Amino acid sequence: MAFYYEEPSRTFNEYLLVPGHTPASCVPTAVNLKTPLVRYRKGEEECPLTLNVPMVSAIMAAVSDDKMAVALATEGGLSFIYGNQTIEQEAAMVARVKNHKAGFVVSDANLSPDMTLADVVALKERLGHSTMPVTDDGTATGKLLGIVTSRDYRPSRMDLETKVTEVMTPREKMIVAPVSTTLKEANDIIWEHKLNSLPIVDENDHLVSFVFRKDYDSHKENPLEMLDADKRYMVGAGINSRDYAERVPALVEAGADVLCIDSSEGYSDWQKFTIEWVREHYGNSVKIGAGNVVDAEGFRFLADCGADFIKVGIGGGSICITRETKGIGRGQATAVIEVAKARDEYFAETGIYVPICSDGGIVYDHHISLALAMGSDFVMLGRYFARFDESPSEKVLVNGTYMKEYWGEGSARARNWGRYDLGGKKSLSFEEGVDSYVPYAGSLKDNMAVTLLKLKSTMCNCGALTIPEFQEKAKLTIVSGASITEGGAHDVLQKDKAPYAGR
């Protein structure tokens, strides 16, 4: 007969944290949420990649594109660009994130002398940029002739057929810097001359790049930004276990900082083959996560294969129907607890720490706290991020309420055979996800600020200032159905629901 687990499969909703002693020094502003993203020898070396906040966005077409990646990296998290698209499309998204704020930015909005204001307006509408260099050949590396900014024209008061050469600030009136200029020197020049941008030119006066004041200001306003060594935003990318030989090189070339195999079930030879190929061709220079698993055996398998981090969770996502379709999965809390224990045992045996990511089953903000307390190093969120302005899905009006479209990668809409196929034909044989809506919630920045404040406050209630300390000090209790009811508003008539409220 089949192996039978004596303990039931439990969800985050079945647990509560019990508060511990909170010292006077333990306040939310003192909490550090930094957490490892990839494997390393704990105690002997620093983790090569860390997150400034323990949140990453799911590898989903409804969640993670380049716009989401920039917004999340600004707040200290990381996006994994979805892989259910052509290799060229995914690589282009990664490249746009890396080029969005690089300190020295190669211009992608360029004008030639024969262009008109109509071209300027069209380019601004398409790309959103207000600073456009004019070069002799209209490229990002042509001889610099001048610059057009939003201060140089008014479409409503000027003839759109006017040549850009008539409105631009000419080269001789511009302040520029040579290619030998450091980023600090460039920012000093911008500050000294009260500039919004500084063109960098070579010895032949050909444009090389720009340095923008707003990038410096952005970094000062967002100290948790996820930046690489070149001050570019960090970004991850999803791959599958089919076309990795073609997809991985393109994503690495585009600048992806970390990869993750996107699969509904990670305890398989397909993931082993994928990781082995990456190690054979790139060694340890390319970081790659794997998953998903729900028990110690699955974790050990992927850890031994060389996965840099391992995702935990099958069937717990709000748009996932794997459990009801196939009868496969496990309660997310139980899965995280077991895998976290296996991770710690693996570290004790090998000296190698392999971070785990809780993926799925998180409905409320406090579930993030529970996932971390149970041992997760970070969490992957789909529905949470799908609600925001920055997600790629459409905002629609449904019964008088604004909603955002949200669909699973196992749905007929996504048709992501690469994630769910088990080595058979290239098609989606049956659905493991649904097509749905989630309530529109506004901007990512505002919502994440509240979520992170809740997390920090909870950690302080447990007397912890770091995630490892939180995991060490946290005390968990299983709750009954009655205590769940007791935990919410009860036995009162809430004002906003009372008859004649507010009259």
In contact, 414 and 408? CB cutoff 8 Å: yes
Report the DSSP pairing between strands 177-178 and 197-201: parallel
Spatial distance between the Cα atoms of 84 and 111, rounded to a whole number of angstroms: 34
Distance CA 315, CA 346 (A): 25
Q: Is 419 a catalytic residue?
A: yes
Residue 102 dihedral angles phi and psi, to the nearest 5° = -110, 15
Catalytic: which of 383, 419, 460, 462?
419
Amino acid letter, 84: N
Selection from 100, 43, 31 nearest residue 67 by Cα: 100
In angstroms, how far is CA 72 from the centroid of its own chain? 5
Q: Residues 367, 466, 52, CA angle at the centre, nearest 5°?
A: 80
Catalytic residue among 47, 260, 305, 320: 320
Verify whether residue 320 is a known catalytic residue: yes
- In 87-168, DSSP assigns E strands to 132-135, 144-148
Token digits of residue 162: 């006017």
C-alpha 260/C-alpha 275 separation (Å) is 10
Among candidates 405, 387, 388, which has minimal Cα distance to 396?
Answer: 405
Amino acid at 203: E
- For residue 54, give the amino acid letter: P
Selection from 233, 213, 217, 236 nearest residue 225 by Cα: 233
Q: Which of 235, 238, 300, 314 is nearest to 272 (CA)?
A: 300
The two tokens of residue 89 are 């499309």
Q: Where are the alpha helices (DSSP H) in 352-466?
A: 365-373, 383-386, 417-420, 444-461
CA distances from 442 to 1, 107, 382 (A): 51, 30, 15
Q: First CA to last CA across the chain, in angstroms? A: 65
Q: Tell me the C-alpha to C-alpha distance, in Å, between residue 175 and each of 135, 179, 346.
A: 16, 14, 58
Positions marked catalytic? 320, 419
